[in-house]
Amino acid sequence: MDLKSLVRDIPDFPKPGILFRDITTLLRDPEGLRYTIDFLTQKCSEAEIKPDYVIGMESRGFIFGSPLAYKLGVGFIPVRKRGKLPAAVHSIEYELEYGIDCLEVHQDALQEGSRVLIVDDLIATGGTASATANLVQKIGCELVGFGFIIELRGLEGRKYLPDVPIISLIEY
């Protein structure tokens, strides 16, 4: 299946000069969504990625991470922006091109030594994925890989990630 044909390009969003890759058109297509999750599962198997947990980053990482965790037979852990989780959290601040952001995970979500796969819809500059990797490693988890639906290769985000398998289904 040609997944690129299911991703809509929106020029000048969110600001002039940006070509936004919109996955909502992929999500609304039942066959495309099923294929995406099945293909991501297959790629994890081929790369021999065997996590205990899939971590999805707010918010589109939840969309793909949850069904992937189901297919892999493992748990799903949400990583959220500051102040969104109700119990005690581990947190990490990271720099963006326009300021500082923070990611959090419940303190009781992961145990030291857990094997973790980080999933998101897209990797661009790698900032959020790198921060999430730092957060799980700070907790003492073993990062076993990354899974992305889309990779914007020209922004070279993968060079900021740890040396583990990185799966991307669509490249621009």
3-state secondary structure 38-87: HHHHHHHHHCCCCCCEEEEECCHHHHHHHHHHHHHCCEEEEEEECCCCCC
The count of C-alpha atoms lying within 13 angstroms of the C-alpha of 94, restricted to the half-sphere facing its C-beta, is 19
Identify the residue whose tokens are 């963006």.
Answer: 96
The dihedral sign for the CA sequence 58, 8, 27, 157: negative
In the three-class reduction of DSSP (H, G, I as helix; E, B as strand; rest coil), residue 66 is classed as helix
Residue 171: CB atoms within 10 A of its CB come to: 11
Q: Which residues are catalytic?
A: 60, 97
Q: Which SS3 state, helix, strand or coil, does residue 40 take?
A: helix
User: Is residue 54 a contact partner of residue 75, using CB atoms and an 8 Å limit?
Assistant: yes
Chain position carrying tokens 């922004």: 155
